[in-house]
Amino acid sequence: MPSQDALLLAVWNWLNRMRDRNPRRLAVLLVVTGVVLAVLGWYFRPWLHGVVYGLYTTPIALPVVVLGLVVLAFLRPRLGTPGAAQVALVLAGFMLFVGIGGAGLLAGEELGKTTMTRSDTAGNLSETDPAKPRVVPQSVATRYASNTLNFPQYRIAGGDITVRNGTPYWSYALAPDGTFNHLTKRQHGTVLVDMTEQNAEVDTVVGDLQKGIGPAFYNNYRFETLKRADYLVQYQDPYMVVHEGEQYIAVPYTKPKFHWLPLPYTTPEWGGVVLLDRDGTVEDLSPAEARDHPALSGQKLYPFDLTRRKVAATKYRNGIVNTFTSHEDEIEVAPVPGEGNSQPFLVFTGAGPEYVVAVEPYGQAQGLKEVWTIDARTGEYERYSPTASLFGARKATDYVRQAARTTDWNRFTPSEPIPVVVDSQLYWQVRIVPEDSSGIAYTAFVNARSSDVHEVTTTAEVTAFLRGERVDGGGGDGQPGDRTPTLVVERVAPNGTVVGTLEIYDDETVRVRQGNATATNATNATTGPSSG
């Protein structure tokens, strides 16, 4: 098989022969080829978006190219074309590497300091809305959605939070499954998992979307968005919206802001939200237009990735040099356990939906340095700095492990420690889930100041705790280890989903009877708690 160089040489020789024999025909051929390539490039421009946007948001590349051309012109008389080109290419590559690194640091410092300047200082945190508790973690919701799926040609795709009729749900797209279906079918609907109910409450909205999540490019929302909406922006992960029975795809996006000194670089800022309806019609909405759109009422609008990036960039609040030397007042976004999910977490408060990001001091410290709250509809930032010593998300999971000494931590794991505020006190809400995410064993609320752990097992108990009521959900009066069940009975659906749990304590008995059994038979079936 001929090498690439040999093929290029053969093409070059053929073009030279064509030029000598029939230059007009060659010119026509080149023009037609150029037009065809331009048309194809224009139609398939969504496939080129990553390269084009990367170059567009790397303005340092332009002066580096100019520098390389100047060096080439200066050295060409001395080293010849090949030697000068090699030197210019090596120098330009080195300068591009150094320039991109330096521009990245400048962009981080600019983003962090701007975030600090434009954020307000909060004296307290908003109270968590007990009517919209975040009970089901993402990994469990994904398992619920998969276990209840009864469409053999489709699979669930994505996984994000949406609001329907005032209730938050985990939403998934019904995407075609398998190569043939991927090429021939469209997104078939939306799967919604109620976030506020511990047991599997799944609703499926069926209806093909002309441009959806998961199909081939000609039926895909992203291809359509990059053709119909703004091209030179960065689109975030989509999420499903169900409004008055109609399905929509919402896609927040960021756009670059250019800075030219001391080096050219860009920083991201919120650009708006693209909304696609069932017919594939694309609406490019500004932030204000998105807030006023009836289909997006109550939805989160601000980009998730931008939230995390801005808060993380505040580590540069004391300058770039500080982050490499003394690390004074430097922060880092706290890592949290939980399969497939990380900060920021979206919570629902009395003020509306908010992103919450807990940050720790840089290094080995695990105390709570700050809590950032970002209005998920307006993008307004607030930072709360506790006046007393509070522990962070990682330490909260340690206290849960210490309190639940009878839990088999080889089979269960703490998931998504979310900060919630009850009666002006900060708690970490930690869900304990099996390793296979088949359900929720129980929920633990850990007081961020006293380390008291209160365990609850039902949705009603979670809601009662968020209302400030003292409930006995297995954790007694809030002290760790007050009361531990001797036996936990799980109701398991045929598909493996845990649909209910029952805790038995050492002073209680179990009565098991068939649905048509008499009271006498039921009494004879009474037993004490098992030790197995």
The confidence band for 499, taking pLDDT boundaries of 50, 70 and 90, is very low
DSSP structure string for 361-382:
ESSS--B--EEEEEETTT--EE
The confidence band for 480, taking pLDDT boundaries of 50, 70 and 90, is very low
- Alpha helix (H) ranges present in 320-391? 320-324
Give the tokens for residue 521.
């038979």
- Is the pTM higher than 0.75? yes
Among residues 106, 98, 93, the alpha carbon closest in space to that of 65 is found at 93
Burial of 102 (0-12, 13-18, 19+ CB in 10 A): middle
What is d(CA 109, CA 314) in angstroms, rounded to the nearest whole number?
Answer: 8
The confidence band for 505, taking pLDDT boundaries of 50, 70 and 90, is low
The confidence band for 5, taking pLDDT boundaries of 50, 70 and 90, is low
The confidence band for 30, taking pLDDT boundaries of 50, 70 and 90, is confident
pLDDT of residue 87: 83
Instruction: Tell me the chain's radius of gyration from C-alpha atoms.
Output: 29
pLDDT of residue 308: 95
Among residues 140, 169, 144, the alpha carbon closest in space to that of 339 is found at 140
pLDDT in tens, 176-212: 999 999 999 999 999 999 999 998 899 999 999 999 9
pLDDT of residue 388: 83
pLDDT in tens, 264-290: 999 999 999 999 999 999 999 999 999
Other CB atoms within 10 Å distance of the CB of residue 329: 13
According to DSSP, residue 338 is labeled -
